[in-house]
Chains A and B, each alone.
Chain A
Amino acid sequence: MMAIEEIRAQFPTLARTVYGKPLVYLDNAATSMRPRIVLERQNELASLHNANIHRAVHALAGEATEAYEAARDAVARHLNAASRREIIFTSGTTASINLVAFSFGETFVKPGDEILVSEAEHHSNIVPWQMMCQRKGAVLKVLPVDEEGHLRTDLLPNLLSEKTKLVAISQISNVLGIINPVKDVVSVCHSNGSKVLIDGAQGVVHGGVDVQDLDCDFYAFSGHKVYAATGTGVLYGKETLLEQMVPYMGGGEMIGTVRFTGTTYAPLPAKFEAGTQNINAQPTLQTALDFAAGLQNEAYTKQVRDFVLEALTADPRIKLYGVPRGTEDKIALFSFTAEGAHHEDIALILDKMGVAVRSGQMCAEPLMDRFGVTGMVRASFAPYNTLEEAEIFLKALDKALKLLR
């Protein structure tokens, strides 16, 4: 276990100021800061080990390939995947979901089939499915959330049918911060014969993921939210499914043999990694996931969560979206509105006090409509955020609300 000061010392950005005030960065659900070891690793790869991977026989190509493939092994280990062939590198969650929407759709989805998503999904876990449904003549169905932001899993049996080919839900909504009971959802969907994709963009950051335990068919996440370089990401898919699915993009790396009369494809995972990959950045996933696993400061993060949750809940001016029902079903992510104060105004004023929060629709317009708002303010904490920062945020918020009243 690392002390909080020790953790913070590893992130250069956290030491800076904005407008002459110490930065309080609470937009971690959008992207996390990167620790020095990740920045150094990326720099080292670009400076000393830059070569295109897999094909060439020279020394640098060997080093670059080794770094890239070692990262795949590390990701497989961190997710507890059954095989490294189940780990596809992508540019992020969005790319991972688009890959499945295309390749799974082309392979398994027929006109009249159904895809089910939840009402709380990020646009990235809605639009690719809409596009696929349009292409394949399939129907997109929606699993609602209740007033407190919890998935209406009780409605799942009614919404699933023999036509439901795939269910796509987030492990943790980027707006509500509620930890969804994805394992139960997977089990219900599987007994219906439907496959499940889990959007782990937020989930992977908060607690370890075990894809075999979850038994999900696909798991997608981005590197940049979990301390790795931007433009890195992962699609986990069960080998039997990935084997059957047609490739997403054609090009170099993904081929077996190419003739004008026809082409065969490379075995997994290369089949889904066409073109030159993000070779200087993707290996930072290993550095970042090792780093994240070594933090082990959950107790402190929970203290911060409880402190902010209690304060926001007690404030009559605040309406919080995503209300926990227990002690284990919400992360330190708080989306809220305040009566008489616009989310943009609150965020602008907080910014001037050094507090970075997100405001707006947060890429979840259907969820904004569900709650009848045009946007929200979101403060999302990372394991490196302190209780003192939480206090600064709450004081700044109070000041903003008084100013706007």
Chain B
Amino acid sequence: MSATGTLEEAKQAVIEDFSMYDEWLDKYEYLIELGKDLEAYPEDARTDDHLIKGCQSRVWLDWKVENGALQFRADSDAIITKGIISLLIRVYSGRTPAEIAADDFRFIESLGLKENLSPTRANGLVSMIETIRRAAQENV
């Protein structure tokens, strides 16, 4: 999967999609749908090496460099987390390591999902963002 447009454009697209929903309920319903539609995670990568274990949801993340771009695939046992994973993949997968490494990863806050991403919580999602950042930095 190669990304279209710039990273900024991808972020704006997600923010715009999300801005259609005023109510938390609609936001969560949207995330649940995204979670259900997320591309299936490869079973051979469902190993402890790929597992980000938190007190709450578990997140599996697999990445590789293809034609100079980072490709991410991920999964979670919790559906709302999986929906947010889907947003992250939409924005970051297929980008060059340099593009991702230069990003501040702040856009997710503008979606009003702060409580899902608080770094003070034992949350797999926070570790997932860290892993994406590290994968990018290592491959710049």
Is A352 a contact partner of B28 (Cβ separation < 8 A)? Answer: yes
Q: Let me know if B55 is at the binding interface, CB within 8 A.
A: yes
Q: Let me know if B58 is at the binding interface, CB within 8 A.
A: yes
Number of interchain pairs (Cβ within 8 Å): 42
Is A344 a contact partner of B81 (Cβ separation < 8 A)? Answer: yes
Is B56 a contact partner of A351 (Cβ separation < 8 A)? Answer: no
Q: Let me know if B135 is at the binding interface, CB within 8 A.
A: no
Q: Let me know if A361 is at the binding interface, CB within 8 A.
A: yes
Is B55 a contact partner of A348 (Cβ separation < 8 A)? Answer: no
Q: Which of B5-13, B72-80, B87-95, B98-106 contacts the other chain? A: B72-80
Interface residues of B in 53-91 (CB under 8 A from A): 55-58, 77-81
Contact of B29 among A342, A360, A375, A403 (CB under 8 A): A403
| Chain A residues with CB below 8 A from B29, complex form | 403
Contact of A403 among B32, B56, B77, B81 (CB under 8 A): B32
| Chain B residues with CB below 8 A from A343, complex form | 56, 78
Closest to A363 in B: B55
Q: Let me know if A19 is at the binding interface, CB within 8 A.
A: yes
Alpha-carbon gap, A339 to B121, bound state (A): 24
Chain A: interface residue total (CB-CB under 8 A): 17
Q: Pick from B57, B78, B79, B80 the residue with the most CB of A within 10 Å.
A: B78
Contact of A342 among B25, B55, B79, B122 (CB under 8 A): B79
Chain B: interface residue total (CB-CB under 8 A): 17
Is B78 a contact partner of A342 (Cβ separation < 8 A)? Answer: yes
User: Provided the pairs A352-B28, A403-B28 are in contact, do residues A345 and B55 lie with their beta carbons within 8 angstroms?
Assistant: no
| Chain A residues with CB below 8 A from B80, complex form | 344-345, 348-349
User: Provided the pairs A374-B58, A375-B55, A403-B29 are in contact, do residues A345 and B79 lie with their beta carbons within 8 angstroms?
Assistant: yes
Alpha-carbon gap, A249 to B37, bound state (A): 56
Q: Let me know if B116 is at the binding interface, CB within 8 A.
A: yes
| Chain B residues with CB below 8 A from A342, complex form | 57, 77-79
Distance in Å: Cβ of A256 to nearest Cβ of chain B: 43
Alpha-carbon gap, A348 to B78, bound state (A): 11
Q: Let me know if A404 is at the binding interface, CB within 8 A.
A: yes
Distance in Å: Cβ of B76 to nearest Cβ of chain A: 8
Contact of A360 among B28, B79, B115, B122 (CB under 8 A): B122
Distance in Å: Cβ of B46 to nearest Cβ of chain A: 14
Interface residues of A in 9-54 (CB under 8 A from B): 19
Interface residues in chain B, defined as those with a beta carbon under 8 Å from any beta carbon in chain A? 24-25, 28-29, 32, 55-58, 77-81, 115-116, 122
Can you offer 24 A-B residue contacts whose CB atoms are under 8 A?
Answer: A19-B24, A342-B77, A342-B78, A343-B56, A343-B78, A344-B78, A344-B80, A344-B81, A345-B79, A345-B80, A347-B56, A348-B28, A351-B115, A352-B25, A359-B56, A360-B55, A360-B56, A361-B55, A375-B55, A375-B56, A403-B29, A403-B32, A404-B32, A404-B79
Interface residues in chain A, defined as those with a beta carbon under 8 Å from any beta carbon in chain B? 19, 342-345, 347-349, 351-352, 359-361, 374-375, 403-404
The 4 closest A-B pairs by CB, nearest first: A342-B78, A360-B55, A344-B56, A344-B78
